[in-house]
């Protein structure tokens, strides 16, 4: 019997569907040595962001050569050593479509929270303060949104921003995408220079380090805001703190951090920062879609047989 480890949780409806397919499902979170032992027993491991499938864990799996498939429920594969897994005939897949709308909506939510001081006035009112005159905000209509990275999530953000009356410019490593004529392609410096709101939608690469550091923040308008609902590390947090304290930018909306689940307290408590605890994909609808996509992946790979060799992540 095919054995599946759901290590970071999944909707119960999806788990039941897998069981009805005749598969054994272990719905439990393992860490450290326990995970290293359990990985030797399973054919599939399903993870979210919490579990890191690195070389050391893959090496443990290779001792029995039972593991055939790693599924990341969500967008991105930066918590998995994809190349090393594929090299050893372990296929790696994810669910890139499931949470795009959810993350896009949270991005817009942070923009509203910052532009109208929702995050701060909510707190001060609970402290018994009525600071109406202090919180003069700005409208999103007529402002320029700069997107760094123009993949699935960024495109969803762009659609919503345009409905709100925003102008959208973007930069992407693939260059200009000519089918998106309502959004203007610019180089990175122009995006930073022109945008009233800069939103990041790129993976983190440890070899390259932060995409946005001290120099990039200096290029931005003093009245501009930066949003990161992508990955911790794409913004240099020390440089961001300095920029906020020195008035180089107006504020930041952050859903992801360099050190999770123990983020930099100076950022979390900063009066110019709107924060959420990595909840971009945490909506009822997204979780349902993730579960449905994972069931389809497992069904396709195992009812048809997992093909070893030449496996490609998507």
For the annotated catalytic residues, the residue numbers are: 231, 260, 278
Q: Cα separation of 200 and 253, whole Å?
A: 11
Cis peptide leading into residue 261 (ω within 30°): yes
Which tokens belong to 141? 């209509």
Kindly report the number of other CB atoms within 10 A of residue 220's CB atom: 23
Q: Cα separation of 231 and 198, whole Å?
A: 15
> Between helices 118-126 and 100-115, what is the axis angle to 10°?
60
Which tokens belong to 200? 């990041």
């Amino acid at each position: 019997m095919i054995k599946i480890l759901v290590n970071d949780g999944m909707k119960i409806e999806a788990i039941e569907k897998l069981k009805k397919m005749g598969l054994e499902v272990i719905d439990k979170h393992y860490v450290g040595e326990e995970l290293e032992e359990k990985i030797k027993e399973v054919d599939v491991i399903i993870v979210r962001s919490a579990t890191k499938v690195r070389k050391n864990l893959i090496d443990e799996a290779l001792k029995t050569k039972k593991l055939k498939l790693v599924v990341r429920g969500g967008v991105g594969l930066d918590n998995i050593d994809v190349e090393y897994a594929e090299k050893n005939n372990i296929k790696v897949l994810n669910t890139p479509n499931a949470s795009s709308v959810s993350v896009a909506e949270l991005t817009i939510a942070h923009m509203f929270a910052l532009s109208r001081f929702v995050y701060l006035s909510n707190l001060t009112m609970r402290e018994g303060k009525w600071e109406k005159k202090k919180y003069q905000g700005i409208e999103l209509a007529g402002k320029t949104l700069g997107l760094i990275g123009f993949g699935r999530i960024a495109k969803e953000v762009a659609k919503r921003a345009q409905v709100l009356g925003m102008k959208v410019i973007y930069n992407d490593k693939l260059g200009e995408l000519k089918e998106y004529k309502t959004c203007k392609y610019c180089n990175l410096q122009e995006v930073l220079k022109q945008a009233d709101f800069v939103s990041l939608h790129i993976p983190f690469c440890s070899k390259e380090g932060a995409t946005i550091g001290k120099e990039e923040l200096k290029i931005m308008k003093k009245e501009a805001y930066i949003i990161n609902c992508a990955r911790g590390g794409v913004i240099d947090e020390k440089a961001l703190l300095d920029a906020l304290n020195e008035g180089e930018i107006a504020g930041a909306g952050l859903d992801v951090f360099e050190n999770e689940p123990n983020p930099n307290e100076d950022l979390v408590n900063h009066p110019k920062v709107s924060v959420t605890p990595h909840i971009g994909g945490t909506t009822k609808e997204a979780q349902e879609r993730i579960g449905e996509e994972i069931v389809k992946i497992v069904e396709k790979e195992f009812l048809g047989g997992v093909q070893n060799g030449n496996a490609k992540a998507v």
